[in-house]
Amino acid sequence: MSGPGTEALFDTGRYCLHDRMSTAYRDLVAHAREELRDDNCVVLPDFVRTSVLQAMQAESAAKSDTATYTEKWLNPYFSEPPDDVPENHPLKRMALRCHGMVRADRFAHDGTIRALFNNADLCRFVADCLDHETLHAYRDPYGCVNINVQKPGREFSWHFDHNEFTVSMLLREPEGGGIFEYVPDIRTREDENFEAVRAVLDGERESVRTLALKPGDLQLFRGGYTLHRVTAPTGNRDRHSLLLSYVTDPDHIATPEYAERLWGEVHPLHQQTS
């Protein structure tokens, strides 16, 4: 039995994902590309219908206690710090990272979260915004669609992403904090710009941009050259963010080593990559 379609999932009056040939669709994609080009980030508010957001929030809340947590001291590059740099160098600036991830196989295949992730119009729209000819829904059984659970008092510390882009949607706000902060293009392929990175780590705020995301906002983000973090939530409510993974290689899947490190468990499909 097929799930809800594009018009049932998304506010198609505002975001016409179902009509790729329309002027409105082309204008929407042009806006997203411009924002991504200038800022490495675009936010599309109230992207899904209210009933869809509520259904996903219920799924997220019901599964949040199944999140896998990892604690590790990491620098912003997720790399091993070299011995031949000063202690205040960004490569040696370690922060404790602890956040939970609800893996994909926890979500019902006929649920709303899966319906959103598997929607072909959304995948095509993301590809168009990111200027990819084609993207594919990630087929990893644990990593294709996840909920990031950020506990009160736990900062998602300053870092650069290894992946080319991130597609996410806030599902639950904390009572306070949980603000997305970023510095676009602080480094390039040619220049790591360690001095500027160190200044931000030391508290420099002039270059920092902030986003107070709201539940239902879709965010497309290029984090490879953009230093970013999510500040620690305050109060008694976790922050929940939906992560949707699309890839250029339809056959890509996590290695057993990566799955073990992230999830503490290896799926039989991961073994096929050995």
Give the range of the structural domain holding residue 201, as residue numbers without chain letter.
43-106+135-263
Query: What's at 148, amino acid-wise?
Result: N
Q: Which of 10, 12, 32, 37 is nearest to 22 (CA)?
A: 12
pLDDT at site 264 = 82
Domain-embedded: residue 249: yes
Domain-embedded: residue 9: no
pLDDT at site 1 = 46
- What residues have CB less than 8 Å from 233, skipping those under 6 apart? 150, 151, 152, 153, 154, 174, 175, 176, 177, 178, 239
Assess contact for 219 and 250: CB atoms under 8 A. no
Domain-embedded: residue 149: yes
Half-sphere exposure of 31 (CA within 13 A, CB side): 10
Domain-embedded: residue 233: yes
Task: Let me know how long the chain is.
Answer: 274
- Neighbouring CB atoms inside 10 A of 25's CB total 17
User: For tokens 């202690």, what's the residue?
Assistant: 87
In the three-class reduction of DSSP (H, G, I as helix; E, B as strand; rest coil), residue 112 is classed as: helix
Domain-embedded: residue 156: yes
State the DSSP H helix or E strand holding residue 26, giving kind and residue range, or none if neither: helix 23-39
- What residues have CB less than 8 Å from 5, skipping those under 6 apart? 119
pLDDT at site 145 = 98
Domain-embedded: residue 22: no
Q: Which of 215, 254, 161 is nearest to 53 (CA)?
A: 215
pLDDT per position as a tens digit, 168-177: 999 999 999 9
Distance CA 71, CA 62 (A): 23
Assess contact for 20 and 31: CB atoms under 8 A. no
| Alpha-carbon distances, residue 51 vs 43, 65, 216 (angstroms) | 20, 23, 11
**The CATH number of the domain where 189 resides is what?**
2.60.120
Sign of CA dihedral 6, 11, 17, 18: positive
User: For tokens 């809800």, what's the residue?
Assistant: 4
pLDDT at site 237 = 97
Domain-embedded: residue 72: yes
Domain-embedded: residue 13: no
Burial level of 75, CB count in 10 A (0-12/13-18/19+)? buried
pLDDT at site 253 = 93
Half-sphere exposure of 15 (CA within 13 A, CB side): 25
Please report, in tens digits, the pLDDT of each residue of the chain (274 residues total): 467 999 999 999 999 999 999 999 999 999 999 999 999 999 999 999 999 999 999 999 999 999 999 889 999 999 999 999 999 999 999 999 888 999 999 999 999 999 999 999 999 999 999 999 999 999 999 999 999 999 999 999 999 999 999 999 999 999 999 999 999 999 999 999 999 999 999 999 999 999 989 999 999 999 999 999 999 999 999 999 999 999 999 999 999 998 888 888 899 999 987 6
Number of domains in the chain: 1
3-state secondary structure 42-60: EEECCCECHHHHHHHHHHH
Query: What's at 42, amino acid-wise?
Result: V
